Structure 1
Amino acid sequence: MHSESQYYIMFGPDICGFGNNRLQVILYHQGKYHENNKTLKCRINKDTHLYTLIIRPNATYEVKIDNEKVTTGGLEDDWDFLPPRKIKDPYARKPRKWDERLQIEDPEDKKPEDWEDSEFIPDPEAKKPDDWNEAMDGVWEGPLIPNVKYKGQWKPRIIDNPNYQGEWIHPEIDNPKYKPDPTICHYYNISVLGLDLWQVKSGSIFDNFLLTNDEEFAEEVGNKTWGLRKDVEQQWRELYEEMEKKKEAEEAKKKREKQRARQEDIWGLDEEDEEDNEEDSEEEPDEKPKQEDGADRAFLGKKEARFDQKDEL
């Protein structure tokens, strides 16, 4: 098999990064691959899970995760195998006078005569300067001041629309292109089960694939395989995570202790230790020959002693 191999059914989890988390159910029909119209989510925790797809002869299906029903429906309804049964009437048009407004402004509401909707007004105490020349300076306009009687922009009150007719719904008719196909869920000569794997993170495991026409048997097998291991697996995972947390805490503690030791050494103690080490290294050349001579003699003495012991034996 290869990437261009034809298949009938693709089923399984599709997890890619943080944005793509989908349970794929892709079915083949009349030379095309069709995805499920529903958005099915798979489990993304660290435990293993059991995925089950059931396709029934009456053109219905069911999806289970961990032997619990996730979704069910009809193949024609949830896949675009066939043209829709109903379409919008191409000759129907919404009437011009159809009123879909739920609320409207009250046509009888009028703005009061004393309503002040100007936020700023000319200063009544300001006077044009005596030396103002309109030919040179233009038309004089007095400065503006805040209007103490300002009440904001006036709007008529909102009332329920007495002529409201509701949202107009486009009428539908039978689709002349629709023809039922009783073979959409029939597949013949299924003899190969393939795995399409795109793995970017280690740790994924999978086993126990089952193809059968017995729903009860499939559920029983799942309970006797995955069902027996799930609790033990969860316990081991929790224990491992606890050990990893302790390990990280110990490493963080050691790191903090090292940083604290460096921060406490503010008097240059390391420099004095380096100077002492340098003085000791200068004196070492004179003592090395003596130490080497003493070591050689001790070594030779041991060899001689061993040789004498052998002779005595």
Structure 2
Amino acid sequence: MSNSSISKSQASSASAIGFLRDYGAILGMIVVLGIFWYLKPAFLTAGNIENVFRQSAIVMIMALGLTIVMKMRGVDLSIAQTADAAGLIAAMLIIAGYPVWMAFAIPLLFGLVVGLVNAALMAYVGVPAIIGTLGMMFVIRSGELMATNGAEPQILFTLPRGVTRNFLWLGQRDFGPFAALIVLAIVVFLIVFIIMRYTRFARYAKAVGSNVRAAFLAGIDIRMTFGSGFVIAGVLAALAGVALVSRTGIAMPRGAEPFLLDAFAAAYLGTLASRQGEMSITGTLVGALFIGFLSNGLTLLGLGAPYRYALNGGFILLAMAIGALKRKT
């Protein structure tokens, strides 16, 4: 065999290995979904796909905020508890007879306040993000328990339809030919995508995530940039919490906690769609949809939450390992 033939063979092998390294995990996710479809043909019916999109919308909204923080090498463990509390506030306002607009506006204001406090602690005081947001999580959880007399659920679906109709519209009704919740998720995705692709904040956030010292020397206000990520994450978490209660018609303390692991899994799975193993807004969208289909497929097969948590944790570890290999090469 000639040297040129050997070189071509080596180049082909290297190309195949590179393709598998870059996109093998994506192909693996497609294979997993194919297995679900083979075992349960109803898995890919139009009705089930729409249901998965509705479920994924809440995870996606929460995960987008988390992705922004993590792109700057931070973390926010309080997003699920913020979503919890925002949903409880919305439900309590509806039950107390306040206008519907207040049931949307006040929880978002709560998320903004949580984000501002997190920003002040982490960006300006210098509290490590994993410690500060963990503390915020427990503070919010304690407030929820006190506000609900332990863990009393706030039930909306038993109230007269005239009282809850406008609030539940977001999670249970359609906006034209599409579910209103899906439309909301698309709008949020487009806004966050534009912010993280075409704005000055996007450039600053990338610089902070790449090299904080270099960003500081370049004149970037690294504290303001880093803190802004927590503010966005807090508002999006609150929006996700309100959307969750609007979809289910019930709010209770710790009801949104399982979404924390789902949000992390979506953000890390999104790195598998990047050749450099970096987090991205579009990658998080892919990750959230895969988490939704995975959860739905396991439910159709009669497998419960323990399997989903185990697979989510496994996918997070896989994504981190593959990301490390990509960065090495």
TM range (shorter): under 0.3
Q: TM-score, normalised by structure 1?
A: 0.19
State which structure, 1 or 2, has the greater radius of gyration over its C-alpha atoms.
1
Q: Which has the higher contact order (CA 8 A, sep 6+)?
A: 2
> Larger helix proportion, structure 1 or 2?
2
Q: TM-score, normalised by structure 2?
A: 0.19
